[in-house]
Structures are given as C-alpha cells and as structure tokens.
Structure 1
C-alpha cells in the first residue's frame, strides 16, 4: 500500500481477467507526423517513454478503422504488416513495465479529412455542413454495416497484436457521437429518430466486436454532455450507458465536442476548474457496475486519491499531463511530486486542425509542448553524455536560459547561469500574477528546484554580464538569453507618467481605470486579471479580436472570457492616436476618435529583442548562440525548445 496515495496506487480488476496495477490511465494522445522511415521508431520510443511512467493503463492514440474515416495522412491499414508490427511493438513496450495496453479505435465521420474521403465525399450519419464548411453525404445502410464490420476486424487485429483491451472512441463529436446526437443525426430510417435508433450503430459495432473477440475487455469513451444547445445531455449519456451495460467492461467519461470551437471541457483551459468532468462521471457511476474513468484537468494527486477513496470514480485519466511529463505517475509513486512538470493548459500541444479558419489535416500536426521540448522527437533527443566537458556560460535566467542550463548540465557540461535580476524566471515572473496562471508558477518552481539540485549549474543572480565579465569566466560556449524590451510606439504623449510597460506591471501601483494598449496574449490576459481584481479595464486592439497569436484553443478560451458578464471592455479594430490628461484617445477604422479616461495606461504592443546588447558577447567564446526573445520575439514554448536544442548540440 502506498503511504501517501493508497487508493490511487491500488490495483483494479478490469473485465474477467485483467488487473490494472494502479488507477491511472494514459488517455489517447496523437503521435506526431514524422517521416515514414522514422515513424515506427518514434511511435515505439514515445510509448516506451510513456509506459515507463508507471501508469496502469496506456491507451494508444485513436486509430481510424477505415482509411476514409480518419483525419488524414496515409491512414491506418489493418492489412499492412508494418502497422501490425508497430502495434506489437507498442503493446510489448507497455508490458515491459507492467502496464495494460489498449488502443483507441475510432471513425471521424463528418470530421474526415477531405483529401482522404471516399470518392471525394465525406460521409456522416446525415447531410450536414461539417466544421470546415463541407456538405457531407448521408451514409447508406450498407456503409454503416461495413464500418461496424471494420470495427470488429480492427478489434481482432488489436488483440492479435497483444493489446489487453480496446477503447471505442465514442466521444467528442466523432462518428458514434454523430449518430447519437440529434444535432447531427437527422435520419429517417432505423438509425435515426428515437434514442434507441440513434444508438443502433453503436450496438451493431459492439455486436461485431463481441462476435470476433468474445473475451476482449472494451472501454467505451463517451461525452457525458456535449454542452451545446440541442446536443447530448447527461440524461442521454445515462440512458446509453444502461444500454451497453452488458456489452462493455469500462466507461471513460469526458464531455464536450469538436463542434464547439472552445472544446471547453474536452481540453480544459486554465479558466476551467480541476476535475471539470467529475460530476458527470459520478452520475454515470451510479448506473453501472463497471469501473468508471474520468478525464479533464486531472492533475491534483490528493484530489485523485480522494475521488477514488470516496467511490466517486475508479480511475483517473490524463492526456496532456503525460505530454508535459511522461514520468509523472512514477514520480508520484516514488515520492518525487515536487519534480513533476505540470501541464500549463495552454493547449500548445493541440493541432490547428481544430481551427476551421486555418485548416491543417491531423496527419501533418507536429506534437509539441511548452514545458517538454523533447516530446514528439524522443527518438532523436534522448539525453546522452557529451564528449569533453565544456564551460558553458548562459546569460539570462528566463525559460530559454534555464532550459539551456539544465540540458547542458545533464549532458555533463559545467554551467554558469547569470541573471541580471534577483530571481530566475524572466518574463514568467511577470505573467504569473493571475489565478489562471498558477500552473506557470508551479512550472517555474519545478525548474528552479532542478537547477538548485544540479551539481553542474552555478547560479549568479543580480549579475549583469559584460564582455569583461564573460572573458573573465573563460567560457567555451556562450548562450545568450537576455530577453527583449517592450516596444514603445511613437504615440504623442506616450511619455506620460501614467504609462507602464508589461515588464514592470507587477511592481507598478495601477489606478482604478486602466487602459491597455495592445490586446495580444499578454495584454488580454492581464486585462482579465485586473478586471478580476476590481479594476475598470479597457483594451485597445488593432485587430478583430483579443489574444490572437496564441494557440487556437487558448485564444478561444480567452476570447470567451471577454464575452462573460463583467468582462473587460475591448475596443477592437481600433488604435491609440494620442495620450492626454483626459486619457487615451482611440481611433476606429473609420477614423472616428473618442477618449477613454485612464488612471493608468499599460503598454502591451510587443517586445523587441535586445540584439545589440547580446551581440556584444559574441566574441567572448568560440561558440555563441542567441535564444529566446533576444533572438526574436518568442513564446515560452519556443524559448524552451531552442534552449534545449542548442544545449543538446554542444
């Protein structure tokens, strides 16, 4: 029995013969696109990495059972021996660490990528316009029966490849969800109309699977509430679970749908509370004898343990958490909680395929993570010792500099990390004020602890590195990560004493009426923070919406917050023409001007690299690199990735 989390790390029977070693499930997450010759190795190493995390159940990413029902790419082919070999390798990797291996089987239906549709047509339960603006074709009954046959065949192949169980992806607006939901199913035959009819396709699929694999445990993943007008409700989900009770072995509770642009509870943002789907899972558990798993911002270990102890759920599932830190379950088990890299809920890892305005098929999505620069390329980036140890000087302790220092140290180099201010973190220290940025604060604490524990990193705070100091330290390599400075546009009156720049906004005492010039990610998020703290905030933004340029789902989440009651005011398609004693003068696209009274004015129109300052250090070592904002304006993700890559290459 585990001392701290006895319920989370207790075994659980699944079906008639399986036992999960603990109550942690790795939810299916997409493997990135890589060159064909590299794909098998990337898949294997990615899942080997995740299997080593210590999760009790590893669910491999959703695989469409038909080429013309997937998200694009070459697509799966269950007659392809290479794919079967990959499936065998995946299951074996999981078994090496004592976990159960599963695979998520799906069909995209209306979401099928157009370039891989059958005869140029996208088939769905009914003729509907899909999110990309394409009219779908209603599936004939013969196609429905064929798809059900393909699910049975895919399940049989998964079992043959050594997987212990399968997951049927019946959630998130994909084909099963499209049949069940009256939003998409307008059929007049036996597959439409009543709820029983709309569930008929799911029952047919389960019949086909049981015919071929009578003893293979099945986990059904469902959206217990679509959270959309006219969509599936919790009551519908409860009815459906009762219908499949004797045909499945486990229920996996999610919610929402890809048809909702925010995907609000499917990929919970930082504005969504932890355990957002717990109440839905609790309701489902009351009507089934099978184990119930819940997914959706599950990252609080104490909460997880208590939910299981109280009988609310049986299993907790995480997807993005395993992307951020593939070893978090193992760290939790071994008492290393303070070294778990938290998921930031920034949704940088999710493909822009969910953005209808910038359509990119799933198969060209490259999986990346803000806090894990290795994900998606584990086969290339396994840390190996360097050659001869070098003296590495890292100038600047922001996210890129910290990552570079840690990676260089892990490879055996001696690192001196200099930071001009009194603490590490760079601009992260500026953005962690809001409550919805708490995960950034947790991330920063984790990285600081790792640096403090490293025997190969010496930190020098309150140290501005001049060429003279750099030469004195005699580095073999200089990695410059000194960041950027705020852009100050040539606006009349911008030197007013009320004007504050984003790098100083935490130290400044802002008045009640705050005008933020610039509604990008930093400006928009700070507006929400200040409004929550009781300020009267107005954002002036030249573009058509706030937070543009952020990962698509994060943009959607922030934009939605601006539509809530008591949200900051956003003056869109507007520019600041001048600042006077009266306030900030704003000009709209038609040239009309008006003044917005301001006690404080926050400039958030962008950052400019400290390129000249950085270049002064170029000749202080044989090798010199600029990373992060001092190279070009960069996100935290871009800074950490480049910091890792530069240090890895030393």
Structure 2
C-alpha cells in the first residue's frame, strides 16, 4: 500500500474528512490556571491545522475543576469557556481542518495541585504515577459529574466544534468505574458488569442528548497492561454500550495513565506487535470505524494498519509536534523532508510534567509565533552542528540571515548521533536524520572538518556568533586511573576504542552510564556501575528511567553500587568507598568513565574581546 492512499476523502458519521488523519489529544500546558486559551494554543493549533491533518482532537478538556489533570489544562465547566474555545475552533476551521472536543474527568488521576482538592474515584485508591490518594465518590458527586458531561457537551457545540470525543479508557474516570480492579463499590455503580457500566451509560446519554447532530467518538484503551486491569477480552460490554449509545467511531489507545504510563504514552522501547493484535481483536467484535493511535507516525506502520484493515483512520500526536507538516509531506511524496518523532518523551511529556508548555527536542517552534523576516539581515556564524546548532542555523536562515555553520566533524548531528546506539533507543535515528535533512534543505553554508578558534572568527567577521559547541566527557581525577584500560562513554558508543576482557567497571551510573551497562551485559559482560549519589539513572526522562531500572533489577550480570566513590586503582583491585565504608573490588579488564559532561567553553573564553553578539546554546 502507498502511504498516499490514506489521502482520499473519507466519511465518519456526518463528518466529511479530507483524509484519514486525526490529531490525537495531547496535553499542552499552554493554558492558564483558570483554564483559558492563550496565544500558545492558537499558534500550536494553527501550525497543526495548516499541515494537512484532517481533524484535530483538542487536548483533554476538563468537564469539572475536580477532574483536572494539569494546572494549565483547558476547561469547559462554565459558560465563560465558550468564547475562549471558539478562538481555537475558528483558527482550526480557517485552515480547512475539523476539530473535536475531548471531554474528560480524570478521577483518581486528577492532580491535587490543579484541583486543590483530593482526587475523586469510584473507590478510595492511590494513583501510582502521581502518588495521590483518591477519595470515594458519593452518589451526589457522581450525579454532578454526569450532569457536567452534558453541560460540557452543550458548551462544545456552542464553541463551534465539529464532533465530540469522550475519554472512556486509559484509567480515567469512566474506565475506573468499568474496571473491577478500580471499582470495588457495592452499590448500583459497582459489583456487577451492568452496575459498573452504569456510569458510562449515564454519561453517554448526557453527551448524546446535548450533542445535537455532532458525531461522537469514544476513546478506549485496548489493553491496560497492568495485572488485573482491563484486557481486550474485557471490552465487549463496553463496546456494545458505545454502539448502542450512537457513537460513530472507536479511538483505540493503550495503557493506563496511573498504572502503566509507558503504554499510555507508547514509549519507544515498547514492541509494536501487541498493538496490531489488539486492533485485530477489536475489529473482530465491532463494525464501528476504528481510529488507531500510538506511534502511528511512520509510513510502514500506517501501511500495515490501514492496508491490512486493522483500522480505518490513524491518530497522530507527538509526530505532529516533531513535524506539523507531516501529513502534507506524506501526501506530496516529500518523505525525505520529514522530521520524525523518536517517541523519547523528553520535550513533550517531560516539559508538561515539570509545569512548562509542551515542546519537542527536534522542533523548537512548538507553540511559538510564526517566524518573520529580519528587517536587516545579519551575518551569523554558528559553531557546532548538533541539534541546537542545526536548529539555530535553520531558524536564522528562515528569518533571512546569512548563516554559516561550522563543525569539527564530518557529519552533522553532534552527540545525538550516539543516541540510537543505546539499547531501546533505536527509534531516535529517524529524528536525527530529519534534522540533517532540514539542514540540507536550508540556505546555509556548511563547513565541516573545521575547528573554529578566534582567528577563524576574525576572518569570518560576523555580526553574531552562536556557540553550540556542546560538552565533553568529564574524567575524574582518580589515582592510577591512567594505569587501566580506560574508555569514555563517548568512545564506547562511537566504537573508537575496544572494550577489553569480560569484567567492566563503569564510573558513573547516571543516565548514560546505565545505557552503557545495558549494552555491555547484552553481549555477556560482567558489569559493576558506581554512582557517588544514591540516584541511579539520574537525569533520565522519568518513564524511560522507570523502564530502565526495572530491566536493570532483573539483570544478573549487573551490580549497581549507589553512594559509592572510586578512590583509586591498585595492583590487586579497585578501592571504593561505599556508603562510608572502604572496600576493595577485584580487578577489572576495562574501566568506562560516564561521570557526566562539562560544557566546552574554550572558544567563549577566546572570544571575550569579540565586538559582535555572542550567544551560547545547547549543552555549551
């Protein structure tokens, strides 16, 4: 199947779609504490809607304040939000795209920092991913939430939305009621399947009664991937209710936000086959059109899912962060120009979790104002062709500046070129190639294999210098370290120096050190990894870190030694101080230093008398 086959017109209920691509709902954190729309929202959705997506499902929108998952989440619990949300629907419609409102109440996944009250759930229970304990809902509170769904639907209609999506899965409130794992009530909202479906049934009726002619989509989790959680075999009664309630389509995701975040966010280390199996199973029990979500931003995967009839539509979330024009580029056969998502979660989820607006490590323009041409173009030197340097050079060039990009290596990409060489990070190769393509297609003079010093800068005589020189490995001063066979983590991943023997000591079990450790144990090495502090894999994206630590805990060839300092090397072994107690470890064949990085500031110091503008970016 040719990827361009998904660009024929399609019907979904009364929706007339220009292609088969939806945007999946993404938490953006562009909002305000009172749930209002900002310029960040408008810039973000303007960019997506211009890129060829047929229908955008808005970010999760809270039907009540006590159901908010993020302090800056959009809300629709009061009539004042109608005018706010109209700003978004009008922007999206102006770019020939449709837009749907994604209604949700987070239940036990609600964030107390956002709600200023404890979460509410069918049963008193803690959400592991947040640590917050939920209180059991009273019957009065349940009725208030059900009514709120209807009121929210009315407001969505008045705000100009084209369809409504109801979040009925992924460990949020509707699925919390449906799952016997999270619903242990013994009243008319619990115990039997009929009772556990009652909340969903009453919510769906409220939505249907207030939606008018707008089509309805239900988003569900095909499998929660948690012991005792909902599996694809448990979904029959819920899907039957969705059909009976007049929904036009099912939107299939995976995981549970509280109990299995890696699957909910579809982490890059997870296999794809379970997705295909789940879609095939759901296809076998319903005639409703299916929208497939979860790392769908790759042609080969789309061709399989649509070509084999596993789904009728696809939903893209993070791939549209990396490249909002991805659909247009697919349609016009410009795949080589696409910046693909690596599913790393570093710029999107990590930003939002830390309270910042959503971003992307390969697209610095997420949610920003459109670039404008400079009134007076400047001559700019960018030193360093890693991700930061490439992004800066491309952006400056698009603004009309005269840019020259220097790098002392022969290949653009910098340290990011090493990322796909780590275990479970192979998907990072695609976004790196995307950055390289952006550079090739830009009007930028590139000079590789050139070390830049003060003399080179003076010869170039630029108006501004952007220093993106990155960082280098920090090598600790340890007695007799030079008597050992030593590699840095950079040398290890580059493959420029061999690992000798079978016993390896890694100094520094941070985010890079543990990746080195996994790679070594996979090829049969016996590894000890020390860390001066008690935090193993420090600095790693949280979900990546959790998955990594789970794998490391099961690895018999690896010994982790937190709160351990390497004191020195002796002929009979390695002396360390573990939690204040000195020990002598048997000798190692290879020592790998992964003790952090230090910014390369030499050029900045050389240029202290430079009269133009100097900017330092990235790891520099």
Task: Pick from 310, 314, 322 the counterpart of residue 312 of structure 1.
Answer: 310
The answer to whether structure 1 residue 493 and structure 2 residue 486 are counterparts is no
Task: Pick from 356, 362, 366 the counterpart of residue 371 of structure 1.
Answer: 362
2:11 aligned counterpart, secondary structure: strand
1:188 aligned counterpart, secondary structure: coil
Give yes or no for contact 1:51–1:99 (8 Å, CA) kept in 2.
yes
2:414 aligned counterpart, secondary structure: coil
The Cα of 1:524 is off from its aligned counterpart by: 1.4
The 3 A distance-change label for structure 1 pair 536 and 181 is same
Give yes or no for contact 2:61–2:76 (8 Å, CA) kept in 1.
no
Question: What's the TM-score, normalizing by structure 2?
Answer: 0.92
Give yes or no for contact 1:517–1:604 (8 Å, CA) kept in 2.
yes
1:619 aligned counterpart, secondary structure: coil
Q: Deviations over 1:338-380 (max 9, x none)?
A: 121121222124556998xxxx6xxx4421221111213x23x
| Equivalence for 1:548 | 538
The Cα of 1:597 is off from its aligned counterpart by: 4.1
The Cα of 1:496 is off from its aligned counterpart by: 2.8
Task: Pick from 414, 432, 435 the counterpart of residue 447 of structure 1.
Answer: 435
**Structure-2 separation of matches of 1:66 and 1:13:** 32
After alignment, is 425-434 or 288-297 more displaced?
Answer: 425-434
**Structure-1 separation of matches of 2:307 and 2:417:** 37
Structure 1: runs of 5+ lacking an equivalent: 631-650
The CA RMSD over aligned residues, in Å, is: 2.5
The Cα of 1:59 is off from its aligned counterpart by: 0.2
| Equivalence for 1:510 | 499
| Equivalence for 2:21 | 24
Task: Pick from 359, 379, 383 the counterpart of residue 395 of structure 1.
Answer: 383
| Equivalence for 1:281 | 279
Give yes or no for contact 1:265–1:277 (8 Å, CA) kept in 2.
no
| Equivalence for 1:256 | 255
**Structure-2 separation of matches of 1:492 and 1:103:** 63
**Structure-1 separation of matches of 2:445 and 2:352:** 43
Give yes or no for contact 1:275–1:297 (8 Å, CA) kept in 2.
no
The 3 A distance-change label for structure 1 pair 303 and 484 is closer
2:424 aligned counterpart, secondary structure: helix
Q: Deviations over 1:292-339 (max 9, x none)?
A: 112112222122023212111111212111122211111111111112
Task: Pick from 72, 83, 86 the counterpart of residue 85 of structure 1.
Answer: 83
The 3 A distance-change label for structure 1 pair 251 and 151 is same
Residues 63-78 of structure 1 aligned to structure 2 (within 5 Å): 63-73=61-71, 78=76
Task: Pick from 383, 401, 418 the counterpart of residue 371 of structure 2.
Answer: 383
Task: Pick from 503, 511, 516 the counterpart of residue 526 of structure 1.
Answer: 516
Alignment: residue pair count: 614
**Structure-2 separation of matches of 1:173 and 1:215:** 29
Task: Pick from 197, 200, 210 the counterpart of residue 199 of structure 1.
Answer: 197
After alignment, is 198-207 or 46-55 more displaced?
Answer: 46-55
| Equivalence for 1:271 | 269
The 3 A distance-change label for structure 1 pair 268 and 289 is same
The Cα of 1:104 is off from its aligned counterpart by: 0.5
2:177 aligned counterpart, secondary structure: helix
| Equivalence for 1:642 | none
| Equivalence for 2:552 | 562
**Structure-2 separation of matches of 1:77 and 1:170:** 18
Task: Pick from 590, 595, 598 the counterpart of residue 605 of structure 1.
Answer: 595
The 3 A distance-change label for structure 1 pair 541 and 619 is same
Structure 2: runs of 5+ lacking an equivalent: none
1:245 aligned counterpart, secondary structure: helix
**Structure-2 separation of matches of 1:523 and 1:78:** 46
Give yes or no for contact 1:275–1:296 (8 Å, CA) kept in 2.
no
**Structure-2 separation of matches of 1:332 and 1:59:** 20
Give yes or no for contact 1:281–1:293 (8 Å, CA) kept in 2.
no
Question: What's the TM-score, normalizing by structure 1?
Answer: 0.88
**Structure-1 separation of matches of 2:74 and 2:193:** 31
1:562 aligned counterpart, secondary structure: helix
Task: Pick from 332, 336, 339 the counterpart of residue 337 of structure 2.
Answer: 339
| Equivalence for 1:644 | none
